[in-house]
Homo-oligomer: A and B are copies of this chain.
């Protein structure tokens, strides 16, 4: 199928702007509709998004049902607050639209399973938007680690990893002043784990598979969600894709910043991953052999492959899956999304963090 997928967006924040830009660059999508609770926000979004060449071809809605009844729409991209992903996803699927939903997929596994079941019953796709696992440099690292021969030759057995993404959010200052911004509110399925921790967890599971057990040691903030903390994920030799027993430490925060790199510890040396923000937008992958200080660059440092907030690789792959009806790729991504959400839900529940939708 060479024709473009017509898509509409729910939500008009900075990530939507970036996705529209990248979706157009991917040559897989064409934006045809924008929904916001306030029509002016939708209109402002259309007029201010540079990659929309013909603003008059994009319809704006403040009524979600009206957007979803638009016959020209193939795909809906959902970038609303986390707590709304489920209900809006159900609506979109019921309207016969494929769904691309921003991370994290849903508030819990129950919502995830219902969304997938409905999509299957209608023959539609529902895909989660994790940009970092579609980036060329991540795929390069993944390919090296998942090739048993190359891995044994280059890295040897894996002894562990530290996967980091801890960046202070100015919205935390609002919390300290008594406000409750969506991203740090249990009402909107917020918190550091759901907003940011999902990245290092997805990074870890995409490389190593699902841990056999996990623990989270968070700081609980005034609103009742986690502000950040340390996660321990344990792998048995049987369960790991790497066929070794090891532990991954993941670190996430929205209430303070860490400059620690992401590192994978191997018998033959340390792999150091530096992204623009933690494990996203990977710029460098350095391998430092044991006992040496000389780093070998494993990343492609072509500027096209690096930089900040490039969602083109994600848009290209998700667009390809829908266009080509690639059910195998969908199944692999869905299985990964489910494992990530199951891991996250366990980490959240073991700390008594409950979202409003679950009360």
Contact = CB atoms under 8 A, between A and B. Distances in A.
A328 B229 CA distance: 37
Interface string A203-231: 00000000000010101000000011110
B228 A159 contact: yes
B234 A258 contact: no
Contact of A257 (B173, B228, B290): B290
A230 B160 contact: yes
A134 interface: no
A290 B171 CA distance: 11
Contacts of A261: 259-260
Given A162-B258, A263-B260, A290-B256, A249 B230 contact: yes
Contacts of A303: none
Nearest to A159: B219
Interface in A248-298: 249, 251, 253, 255-261, 263, 265-267, 269-270, 272, 288, 290-291
Nearest to A162: B260
A245 B218 CA distance: 10
Interface string A158-177: 01101010101010110010
B249 A251 contact: yes
Contact of A170 (B176, B228, B259, B291): B291
Contacts of A159: 219, 227-228, 253, 255-256
A232 interface: yes
A267 B221 CA distance: 11
A288 B215 CA distance: 29
Interface in A113-171: 159-160, 162, 164, 166, 168, 170
Contacts of A232: 215, 217, 230, 232
Most interface-central of A228, A245, A255, A257 (chain B CB within 10 A): A257
A267 B266 CA distance: 34
A305 interface: no
A112 to B, nearest CB: 28
A17 interface: no
16 contacts: A159-B256, A162-B230, A168-B290, A173-B291, A215-B215, A215-B232, A217-B232, A219-B246, A219-B247, A255-B265, A256-B265, A256-B290, A259-B261, A259-B263, A259-B272, A260-B260
Interface of A: 159-160, 162, 164, 166, 168, 170, 172-173, 176, 215, 217, 219, 227-230, 232, 234, 245-247, 249, 251, 253, 255-261, 263, 265-267, 269-270, 272, 288, 290-291
